[in-house]
Amino acid sequence: MKKIVIVLCIILLSACSLGKSNTPKQKVEELLDKYKNQNQEVLADLEDSIPDDYTGEYRSKYKEIMTNQYKNMEYKIINESIEGNEAVVDAEITVYDYSSVMNNASEYLKDHIEEFKKDAQELTDEITDNDYDQDKYNEYRLKKLEEATDKINYTIEFNLTKKDKKWVIEPLSDSDIQKLHGLYEE
C-alpha cells in the first residue's frame, strides 16, 4: 500500500510540474535564460545582427562583447496577462548601457577626428566615411564597450499565442533586440 501511495504522489507531482512548464511567464523566462546561457540558437541570431562595419577580428570582438552582455543581463517578470489563446508578458531587463557608449564614441569621433584619420591623408571639413580609418574607430568603440559599467533598465513586452496547447513567443521586434543588446535609444 505504501508503494502505491508513493507512486501516485510521484505521478501527481510529475503531472503538476508538466502543466506549469508551459505558462507564458515560463516561456519568456526560458527565452531570457537562453540569452543568459548563450544558447547556440541565440548566438546564431547574434551573428546575423552584427553591423556590417565590424569585419574580421572586430566582428569576433563585437560578438564576444554582446555575449558578455547576455551573460550579465538580469531580468524580472513584472506582469503576465492571459486572455484565451493570447498572452502578454512584461519583463524588465537590466543590461549594460551600450547605447550611451556608442553615442559618446560618435561624438568623440566628430570632435577628435584627427585621431582616426587615415595615414598620410588630409582631412576635409565635412566628415564622410572616407575621412577616417574605420578600423581605428572600431578599435576605439570596442574598447569603450568593453569598459562599460553603467547599466540601464528596459521593459520588453512579449506577445505569446497558444498553438497546439503550447505557448509560443511571437518574434521579437528590432527595438526589443536592441534593448537586449543595450543599444536601444528612446
Q: Is the pLDDT of residue 5 over 60?
A: no
Residue 10, judged by CB atoms within 10 A of its CB (0-12, 13-18, 19+), counts as exposed
pLDDT higher than threshold 60 for residue 18:
no
Q: Which three cell numbers stand for residue 51?
A: 553591423
- For cell 565590424, what's the residue? 54
Amino acid in position 63: K
Distance (Å) of CA 79 to CA 20, 35, 65: 17, 20, 30
- If you average pLDDT over residues 117-125, what whole number do you get? 60
How is 122-180 classified by DSSP, letter by letter? Answer: PPPSS--TTSS-HHHHHHHHHHHHHH---EEEEEEEEEEEEETTEEEEPPPPHHHHHHH
Boundaries of every domain in the chain = 18-102+136-181
Is it the case that residue 127 has pLDDT exceeding 60? Answer: no
- Give the residue, 136 or 15, on which the prediction is more confident: 136
Query: Could you tell me which CATH number the domain at 18-102+136-181 has?
Result: 3.10.450
Is the pLDDT assigned to residue 49 strictly greater than 50? yes
156, pLDDT greater than 60: yes
Model pLDDT, residue 125:
52
DSSP codes joined into one string, 45-99? HHHHHS-TT--HHHHHHHHHHHHHHHHH-EEEEEEEEEETTEEEEEEEEEEE-HH
Q: What is the pLDDT of residue 130?
A: 60
Q: Tell whether the model's pLDDT for residue 122 goes beyond 50.
A: yes
What is the reported pLDDT for 186? 81
Which segment of 6-20, 97-111, 138-152 scores lowest on mean pLDDT?
6-20
- What contacts 139, CB < 8 A, 6 or more positions away? 58
Q: Is the pTM of this model over 0.85?
A: no
* pLDDT, tens digit, 9 for 90 and up, residues 77-105: 999 999 999 999 999 999 999 999 999 99
